[in-house]
Amino acid sequence: MKKVWDRLGIAFSSACVVHCLLVAFLPLISPVLTAYTHSTWVHIIVGVIILFTSPLAFIPGYRKHGVTWIIGMALAGLTFILLGILFEGQVSDQMSHGISIFGSLMLVFAHFKNIQHSHRHHHQCC
The DSSP line for the chain is -HHHHHHHHHHHHHHHHHHHHHHHHHHHH-HHHHHHHS-HHHHHHHHHHHHHHHHHHHHHHHHHH--HHHHHHHHHHHHHHHHHHHTBTTB-HHHHHHHHHHHHHHHHHHHHHHHHHHHHHHHHH-
Instruction: Give the global pTM.
Output: 0.78
Counting every residue written for the chain, the total comes to 126
Q: How big is the CA angle at 88 (ends 85 and 93), to the nearest 5 degrees?
A: 115
CA distance 73 to 46: 19
Residue 69: its pLDDT value, please?
96
The pLDDT score that the predictor gives to residue 126 is: 44
Low-confidence ranges of the chain (pLDDT < 50): 123, 125-126
Predicted local distance difference test score (pLDDT) of residue 20: 73
- In this structure, are residues 4 and 60 in contact, taking their beta carbons and an 8 Å threshold? no
pLDDT value for 77? 95
What does the domain layout of the chain look like in residue ranges? 2-125
| pLDDT for residue 48 | 87
